[in-house]
Amino acid sequence: MKINYEIWRNNIMGLKIQDETVRGKIRKAFSLSEDSASHEEIKERLLDGGQVTGTNMCVLVCAMVIASVGLNVSSTAVIIGAMLISPIMGSILASAYGNVSADYPLFQNHMLGFGIQIAISVAAATIYFLLSPVKEPTVELIARTSPTFFDVLIAFFGGIAGIIGQTRMDKTNTVIPGVAIATALMPPLCTCGFSIANGRWDMLLGAGYLFIINAYFIFLAACIILSVLEIPKTKELSQKEWKRHRLRMVRNTIIIALPSIVALYYMVC
């Protein structure tokens, strides 16, 4: 009986060690801190990418015109090219950094810059579509007017991939271009420009909502990952303030996602 007990105990200990080893390997495989850049480098990258400078604004206008042409002639390749050169996602990630670090003047500054980028983007697209001889909405334009919960999932997981790519030590990766294509921030803004230029207010509502989904859930995903990486806070908030902050984020998420869930329900049913 003693020998059997010893064998049984050794087997249990062996299984525990193996289990801990497997869990350790899985934890290490999914660890975000393994190859993460320093907090200073992450801050520098995100804030540099969110600058509203003359160069970025010129590139943004060029990207909007290219995307508008692609939507106007239903050229997927041209639309993808415009999404790759657009700098608009940088402002979203910089705003997320300001939010997580509790640097609210920084957050407000980048949100203001983001608003300016949106206004200039829609204005550029509106001017193009006013001048364009093609007035009928193409398949590519119509495709940006009926968002569902699938778009929420694409934006959220695309945002996670994007912020992970931006916070790695190795900056030479293909994540950011892929995220720019998947989350598609530019085409909805172009569709808004088309809607304004041609008085298609029904299309404006759907395209505007799709842009809000993409922008917000990229922002939310970036906030979550930056929180996991324990980005330093500029000031300490009380537990009550953090609770109020989290509840506000949950409320905003539900409000923005709810119409897309209803749209998906009606699409499926």
Domains of the chain, start order: 37-268 (1.20.1080)
Do residues 147 and 206 lie in contact, with contact meaning Cβ atoms separated by under 8 Å? yes
Do residues 84 and 181 lie in contact, with contact meaning Cβ atoms separated by under 8 Å? yes
**Tell me: the pLDDT tens digits for 204-243?**
999 999 999 999 999 999 999 998 888 888 877 777 888 8
Tell me the average pLDDT of the chain. 83
| pLDDT given for residue 183 in this prediction | 63
Task: List alpha helices for 30-143, DSSP H.
Answer: 39-49, 54-72, 76-85, 89-100, 104-131, 139-142
Please give the average per-residue pLDDT across 2-14, as a whole number: 56
pLDDT at 111 over 80: yes
pLDDT at 16 over 80: no
Residue 195 pLDDT level (bands cut at 50, 70, 90) = very high
| pLDDT given for residue 2 in this prediction | 46
Please give the model's pTM, rounded to 2 decimal places.
Answer: 0.85
| pLDDT given for residue 167 in this prediction | 83
**Tell me: the pLDDT tens digits for 71-91?**
998 888 888 888 888 888 888
